[in-house]
Structure 1
Amino acid sequence: MEKEINIKTETSDGCYSHVLFQKPNENVEENIKEEIEFKEEPVDGQYAELMVNYEIQMNEESIQIQDGDTKYQPLLSGKSFSNRSRVQYHFRACNGEKSHRCSHCDKTFSEKRYLIRHLMIHTGEKTYKCSQCDKDFLRKHQLISHQITHTGEKAHQCNQCEKSFTHRISLICHMRTHTGEKPYQCKQCDKAFSQRNMLTYHLSTHTGAKPHQCNQCDKTFSLSSGLICHLRSHTGEKPHQCNHCDKVFSLKSNLKIHLKLHTGETPYQCHLCNKAFLQKSNLKRHLRTHTGEKPFQCNQCDKAFTQNNSLKHHLRTHTR
């Protein structure tokens, strides 16, 4: 007969967690104690022995065991473990413990494998290579996502406009431009964002943190994506190819802007006159001709300009 074991754990701070395990073994108490008694490191850094109390309960009915070599299955969470270390990791994840710290930034992880995977961001290691082009990727799911771009398939259609997308997540993000939804709220101010990466970037304005360091110059970046794009300025890599002409770009955003030249699209309309622009930045620059705003101030005289290029040109007059 199989036995059901209710394991109650108590940590040094008095917190309890309950996990229900099962094991098809006659000598249940001895084997379970051998497998899951371990030490864990609470948040304060002091080691405390994890005390495990066993309440052995005999079940009249047989409990179904999962197929395979799995020895322990917590019935409440649905997780399965093959050895003691996996049980340890599971407890740490449940308790929020993250003892593996990155030596390059302040991130911490509950498991060593997650830290190793994270370190690839700093080293630039990319193990997943596309068989159809020279691109390689840090994560397997990124490679799978990229491979769809070779087929040109855009199966995810917006039901409010004519746009379609290769990936479902891109459609979800796009839909927020119609609904105005901004689910990512900054906890330090009242700003909210439609995408998580925009919130992550914004948070760096509060902390000033730029943990991603270029290994070829002294520049640092708030986001790993910013570092990846910057590295192309050293390598000269331009992976984004226009399918209408032979131009290539280092940034996908620049390719998107360029494609509008082929379509003739000018989506940014001035509300004070009939002019329309390819880029939002061009519209902002144009609006200054209506408002008279001159945000670019010379630090050597009292002149100010509507455009940064005009200021740069003016500064040369001081160096002559």
Structure 2
Amino acid sequence: MVKHLCPFENCSSTFSRPSRLLIHIQRHQGIKGFQCTQCDRGYHRRQHLKRHVAEAHQNQLRLEQLLTCNHCERQFKTAWGLRRHQIKIKRQKANIRLHCCEICNRKFLNSVDLGRHSLKHESFKCVHPSCPLLKHQFISWKFYNQHMIDYHSEPFECEHCGEKFIIKSKIRSHVKEHMPKFNCTQPGCHSTFDFAKNLVKHIQVGHGERTYKCNIIGCDWTFKYKICFERHIKAHQQNKKIFPMANRIHKKEPKFLMATKLAKLALKI
């Protein structure tokens, strides 16, 4: 815990909070930050000023009988002090760990954490005798739990042929074999697709005609999509320049393609 030291000489007082250190320094300086508006009394704390106003100016007498705590039978003069004391006791009880491990005596807040911890003493090994990973030791509970889901849960059955799979990812790839294939109808193109929307997009991008042409004199740009055409017109309005379509900027090739080209040139040399 950080301790705040008093800066005055011959004073070794330490405080856990800066606010308490500030009150202590004000006492050294004779400063009272909270003044009563009805008399000349002053106080270092706000709650002391409130108590003074209630007793001296509002005729609210202090409790003659002390307030007793139900947990430890400690007595307090004010209800505020009793309430603050009970809050501390509740916080201490909330952090009590009642569930203890019988092997290493480690304590936990609930039984779920204790059950997960107890698996560590078993080295996370599968208990099914027919499991191919029977002798395998899993590193953590996460991998052990995923293994139980993949290999020892109910099998997934294909609706088309009735074949069963243990792992869910394998049945997903198997179902694609029963789905119809969509072949490209353009001459010289042998592309196939699993979904019709992918085929339509392929025809638009790969074999579609550029139906949108720029109507500005001297510009020969053409586009397949309306959104690209509208973006091109906005560029004309902002820049007011014309660039030939043949001089358009191409995207840079990936690094691995550049590396293969350089390797071929090195072999030729």
Larger helix percent = 2
| TM score, norm. by length of structure 1 | 0.20
Structure showing greater radius of gyration is 2
The higher relative CO (CA closer than 8 Å, separation ≥ 6) is in 1
